[in-house]
A and B are shown apart, each in its own frame.
Chain A
Amino acid sequence: MNNTRSCSIGPQAVLTVDAACKTFADGPTVLDSVSLRIEPGSFCVLLGASGSGKTTLLRSVIGLTPLDAGFIDVGGVKLSPRTMRNLRRNVGMVHQDFGLSARLTAAQNVMAGTVPDLPMWRVLFQAYSKSVQDRACGLLAHVGLEEGHVNRPVSGLSGGQKQRVGIARALINFPKLILADEPVASLDPQTAQDVMGLLRRCAEEQGAAVLCSLHQINLSRTYADRIIGLREGRIVFDGPPSQLSQDMLARIFGAEREGFSLSMAVA
């Protein structure tokens, strides 16, 4: 395909991944020379089956999973051990299993996104400044959490509410790029729609680009500006949802294999 390799590095890209490779010690190759470029403000979905390398790609962008080869560039800053912490500060991330500390309150979880800039004693006593507290409350209200939930441990929230808190945390540092790793994997279909809609709306208001991994085809079609199909660590499709034909889906999900029906992937 032409567009898998069309990565000339330009200053306007919010994220550039160039020839990313990753093989785990005891497993298969999860990323096989993946290159892509995300434009500011766009909503991109990484579509693929389990094990296609979506999570590894997202984690490698902020160095949670180090790459074997290739490089990452976020907003003009190349990822390296020296730049990593600074780079992470400018990227918001929404996690598959929410990644919230269950015993901390919703507000504490959101404010935790600001700790890299804080002195140790403020972290120790979770003493956040008034402006951070106000911003956390504003964000929680914005993502649709009720006031009564703000100071309650997140363990008491429903899955949908937890992911709303997760989105609020991803937004607290005014990121220009939001990574979302299967943000709705553990939610029911209706809640999944709500949360995807919220993620898209928030990103638009913030002017942030989103790179979101999904395995649901319907949600990808509904919310994405651009879909990147991953299969066995390679990009096999890259284009707007309108170009995502049955043939392309078969290519992404490996439907040409015997005994596999596409409805399984759609469901």
Chain B
Amino acid sequence: MSESAVTGRVDAAHWRVRPAFGWKTVLTVVVAFVLLSVSAHRIELHRLSSQLGEFLQASVGLKESSQIGRGIGSVTQQMYPIAIAERTPVSLIDDFDPARLPLFSRLETERVEESALDPETMQMTTTTVEKTFLVEPAGYLTFTLGKMLETVEMAIWASLFAVLMSLPLSWIAARNFTPHSALYAIARSFISFLRAVPELISALFLVLAFGFGAIAGILALALHSVGFLAKFFAEEIEAADKVPQDAVRATGAGDFAVLRLAVLPQVLPSYTALSFYILDRNIRMGTVIGLVGAGGIGQELKGRYDMFQYDHVATILLIIFLSVLTLDALAAKIRHKLI
């Protein structure tokens, strides 16, 4: 042992402090800059800045109009007032009985001009007919709320199926509990595959298989959720404290008892939090996958949007927005209570 090590005096003249940024960092930044520049050119990112500039100029009066303003403006004008009432021509209602109207509803009669092709003269003729409408003052609002409830129900079922599928799958996909390494590899790749397929795309095909409606939506949401939940469930199992596991194993117990009595009590809070996150996410995604016909409020939104009925679209958007906000707060409260 040298003198200097004992006394603590060491000659530090040749010591150098490593700089905070090395050539690797500089190189990474330069490469990233070049790649992003190429990409910006490819996707015509310059249009973003020119359009935003045009919009800003228009909004302070320097320009007459802008593309963004025209696009948004026409839609927003038609959104107000939002659609709350439902008007249905009585001729479209089966077995209509004027003596027994639904609660709070009334009948309105108005004269409408109708154009039709005369089959004999082969010319368009316009006739004025008297039409009776059944008006339900909050009809469309309640209908949309019902659709939103359907979306929430879809999300709950999808999350429930996802949790029930993920529990056994995560056992196989946890490295320290898998029955066989081949099964582990299969389970992991299956989970990655499920996660890699977006709901919107699986819903497209599930609608073909199961038809339009909630079933396809529930399956699409559940499959993607399994890809997410099973991965995190398995990682929780792998990271769980080993001491209680060894203690249960030391009594002669098998894997199932160790998982149930030493692992599950540990991971339960994070399992609950993850499941609630998935439910939250499924409600938001559930509103979207209706766009491809997989049930819920999205299907209604898509229909009204395609028919340019922007007042109805506004109602739907408001309900989605308020519901997600409310459910978010509710979920946060429940999560807080459980953990």
Give the most central of A101, A114, A115: most B CB within 10 Å.
A101
Output the least CB separation between A186 and chain B (Å). 12
Instruction: Tell me the bound Cα distance from A115 to B338 in angstroms.
Output: 28
Residue on B nearest A108 in the bound complex, by CB? B261
Q: Is A225 an interface residue (CB 8 A)?
A: no
Judge whether A99 and B254 touch: CB under 8 Å: no
Residue on A nearest B257 in the bound complex, by CB? A115
List chain B residues, Cβ under 8 A from A113.
251
List chain A residues, Cβ under 8 A from B257.
112, 115-116, 118, 123
Judge whether B246 and A99 touch: CB under 8 Å: yes
- If the complex has contacts A64-B246, A93-B247, A112-B248, are A101 and B261 also in contact, measured as CB distance less than 8 A? yes
Residue on A nearest B265 in the bound complex, by CB? A103
- If the complex has contacts A116-B257, A124-B260, are A101 and B266 also in contact, measured as CB distance less than 8 A? yes
- If the complex has contacts A112-B261, A115-B261, A123-B261, are A100 and B247 also in contact, measured as CB distance less than 8 A? yes
Q: Is A206 an interface residue (CB 8 A)?
A: no
Q: Is A86 an interface residue (CB 8 A)?
A: yes
Selected contact of B243 from candidates A84, A86, A89, A99, CB within 8 Å: A99
Judge whether B243 and A116 touch: CB under 8 Å: no
Residue on B nearest A89 in the bound complex, by CB? B252
List chain A residues, Cβ under 8 A from B247.
93, 95, 98-100, 166, 169
Judge whether A116 and B253 touch: CB under 8 Å: yes
Q: Is B249 an interface residue (CB 8 A)?
A: yes
List chain A residues, Cβ under 8 A from B268.
103
List chain B residues, Cβ under 8 A from A210.
none
Instruction: Tell me the bound Cα distance from A101 to B243 in angstroms.
Output: 9
Q: How many residues of A contact B (CB 8 A)?
A: 35
Judge whether A123 and B260 touch: CB under 8 Å: yes
Q: Mark A95-127, 1 if CB is under 8 A from B, else 0.
A: 111111111100010001111101010011010
Instruction: Tell me the bound Cα distance from A99 to B265 in angstroms.
Output: 13
Q: Is A173 an interface residue (CB 8 A)?
A: yes
Q: Is A5 an interface residue (CB 8 A)?
A: no
- Of residues 201 through 255 on chain B, the ones whose CB sits less than 8 Å from some CB of chain A are 243-244, 246-254
Judge whether B260 and A62 touch: CB under 8 Å: no
Q: Is A142 an interface residue (CB 8 A)?
A: no
Q: Is B158 an interface residue (CB 8 A)?
A: no
Output the least CB separation between A102 and chain B (Å). 7
Q: Is A85 an interface residue (CB 8 A)?
A: yes
List chain B residues, Cβ under 8 A from A86.
252
Residue on A nearest B245 in the bound complex, by CB? A99
Q: Is B156 an interface residue (CB 8 A)?
A: no
Output the least CB separation between A80 and chain B (Å). 14
Output the least CB separation between B107 and chain A (Å). 60
Q: Is A221 an interface residue (CB 8 A)?
A: no
Output the least CB separation between B147 and chain A (Å). 39
Output the least CB separation between B170 and chain A (Å). 16
Output the least CB separation between B263 and chain A (Å). 9
List chain A residues, Cβ under 8 A from B251.
88-89, 93, 112-116, 169, 173
Judge whether A100 and B250 touch: CB under 8 Å: no
Output the least CB separation between A119 and chain B (Å). 11
Q: Is B193 an interface residue (CB 8 A)?
A: no
Judge whether A100 and B244 touch: CB under 8 Å: yes
Output the least CB separation between B89 and chain A (Å). 58
Judge whether A104 and B243 touch: CB under 8 Å: no
Q: Is B288 an interface residue (CB 8 A)?
A: no
Q: Is B305 an interface residue (CB 8 A)?
A: no
Q: Mark A55-97, 1 if CB is under 8 A from B, else 0.
A: 0000100101000000000000000000011111101010111
Instruction: Tell me the bound Cα distance from A91 to B248 in angstroms.
Output: 12
List chain B residues, Cβ under 8 A from A91.
250
List chain B residues, Cβ under 8 A from A120.
256
Instruction: Tell me the bound Cα distance from A118 to B261 in angstroms.
Output: 13
List chain B residues, Cβ under 8 A from A98.
243, 247
Judge whether B250 and A104 touch: CB under 8 Å: no
Instruction: Tell me the bound Cα distance from A126 to B266 in angstroms.
Output: 16
Residue on A nearest B268 in the bound complex, by CB? A103
List chain B residues, Cβ under 8 A from A102.
244, 265-266
Instruction: Tell me the bound Cα distance from A114 to B243 in angstroms.
Output: 18
- If the complex has contacts A100-B247, A112-B261, are A85 and B254 also in contact, measured as CB distance less than 8 A? yes
Instruction: Tell me the bound Cα distance from A173 to B253 in angstroms.
Output: 13
Q: Which 6 A-B pairs have the closest CB atoms?
A: A99-B247, A88-B252, A103-B265, A116-B252, A89-B252, A115-B257
Binding site for B on A (CB under 8 A): 59, 62, 64, 84-89, 91, 93, 95-104, 108, 112-116, 118, 120, 123-124, 126, 166, 169, 173
Extra contacts besides A95-B250, A98-B243 (7): CB < 8 Å: A85-B252, A101-B262, A102-B244, A123-B261, A124-B260, A126-B261, A169-B247
